[in-house]
Amino acid sequence: MPLPLTRATLPGGRRLGAPTPPAPGIVHLGLGQFHRAHAAVYTALAQATAPGDWGILGVTHTSRAVVEHLARQDYLYGVLELAPGTEEVGVVDVHRGALVGAEQPDEVARAIAAPATRLVTLTVTEAGYHTDPAGRLDLATPEIAADLARPDAPTSPLGLLAAGLRRRFQAGAAPISVLSCDNMLQAGDTTRARVEQYLAAAGAADDLLAWLGTGVAFPNAMVDRIVPSTTEATRAAVERALGVRDAVPVPAEKFTMWVMEDTFTAGRPAWESAGAIFTDEVRRYELVKLRLLNGCYSLLSTVGVLAGKATNPEAIGTDYIAACVRAAQEDDYLPTIELPHGFDARAYIAELFARWANTALGDATYRVATDGSTKLAQRIVLPAVYALERGRMPQQLALTAAAWICVTCPPAGFDPGPLAALVAEPKAAGMAAAVAAASGVRDHVARLLRGGFLPDALTRWDSFDDRVADYAEIIVRHGVEAAAREALGRARS
């Protein structure tokens, strides 16, 4: 049995970049796969060029397993970069501790308030911001309601962040930056708004809210890297490369991208030395990624689930799914985007198809289709309205919405297949209640599209509802391929 990965067993030459000092300067909320393969890697590489006090204290939401595994491994873990025919492993050495937020809220708040902490980063998924259909903090969600009832012991990432910032203000109001690394438009602005709304609901004093506007920076950022789930095959590959056992390695594609505003109030790692882009065009990059990549990712994954395609390479390798993705990019998304200066959209799209087709990753369609209501709110609503206002029906966006409904809240009598059972939908219970008395597929669709499960911006477009219902009916009666081909035919007409 191989020895476990630790500082004593780490093979020479395998460390990515350089280690950070013992004391953390960053608190990260959301110690999951993406953070460990993205921001942590950039930090390690930056450390090799410009050393600084940028060790990371990671915070999980409820998972104690990853905390315990990392502690046993001296907070080391491998990143397995995968491409067809190649496997490369590097070990990240920047985490300097880990906490379970739901169990250790006081420790998390103290860490955010600590003078040595100058940056809080987040990867808590779009759902972690608890945005309601009107674009504000949803105070009625169980997590937020519970946190507001016990402000000294919050468990949600947003509650923990707010508690830490409150304590920092009370300790002297040292400046700090909060950097969201989640897939949202204007992620920094959104984070600021949710923190302010949370603190206002908690009865925060005006001087604390004023400090948020002057002493706390919330830079906007765009992140991009495909990071699938860890499997035993991941662990076996890392073990072959290192000769030691890593319980929590992370697989990832080679491609990685990070674009940010440089508005940090208390310093930052030299991430540009690791390839990060600092620019005042972050919103343009966000739209490129959220629409051409993420929006189409939702399309290929939900249609892929209904088609019985277990992985995204299988889905994008299916002719009608690939054709729908291309049509979505060309017809529904590109016209809505003002591209960054000098950005080659055609080259980016070609690279996207190569990334989706990366069979070495084996990324699962159900993983990407998870949290659909939260993701689609960010990805399809504004582009759909853009087209509808100009007299054009966004066929592929309607197909995306129909596929999401059929996967996560299927009409009565319709079986979406075994992969759909793996897809998690945060609003599933409410959706099921809304359609309990539906009189048919079209009524089923209308109740969901008008029931507050997506933002209100689409509710005045009966024509869009009708087209979504058209595709849902075809999926139920004839299968998803028939619906996809119908959407392609209508797009050409």
Coil, strand, or helix at residue 453?
coil
Counting as low any pLDDT under 70, the low residues of the chain are: 493
Residues 44/46/51/52 CA torsion (nearest 10 deg): -80
Location of each CATH 1.10.1040.10 domain in the chain: 282-492
DSSP 183: S
- Tokens coding 278: 């600092």
CATH topology of domain 282-492: N-(1-d-carboxylethyl)-l-norvaline Dehydrogenase; domain 2 (1.10.1040)
What is the DSSP secondary-structure string of 401-426?
Answer: HHHHHHHHSPPTT----GGGGG---T
Contact 444, 473 (CB under 8 A): no
pLDDT in tens, 201-252: 999 999 999 999 999 999 999 999 999 999 999 999 999 999 999 999 999 9
Q: What CA–CA distance (Å, rounded) separates 339 from 356?
A: 22
Q: What CA–CA distance (Å, rounded) separates 470 from 450?
A: 16
Starting from the edge strand earliest in sequence, which strands make up the sheet with 95-100, in order?
95-100, 55-60, 24-29, 119-122, 176-180, 216-217
Q: What is the pTM of this model?
A: 0.90
Coil, strand, or helix at residue 172?
coil
Contact 155, 105 (CB under 8 A): yes
Location of each CATH 3.40.50.720 domain in the chain: 24-278
pLDDT in tens, 112-154: 999 999 999 999 998 899 988 888 999 999 999 999 999 889 9
Place of tokens 């390839």: 275
Q: What CA–CA distance (Å, rounded) separates 353 from 312?
A: 10
- The dihedral built from the CA positions of residue 277, 298, 61 and 140, taken in this order, carries a sign that is positive
Q: Which helix (H) or strand (E) holds 58?
A: strand 55-60
pLDDT at residue 493, rounded to an integer: 66
pLDDT at residue 151, rounded to an integer: 85
pLDDT at residue 455, rounded to an integer: 84
Smallest CA-to-CA distance from 307 within 484, 74, 189 is with 484
**Burial per residue of 15-35, b for 16 or more beta-carbon CB atoms within 10 angstroms, e otherwise:** bbbbbbeeebbbbbbbbbbbb
Looking at domain 24-278, its CATH architecture is 3-Layer(aba) Sandwich (3.40)
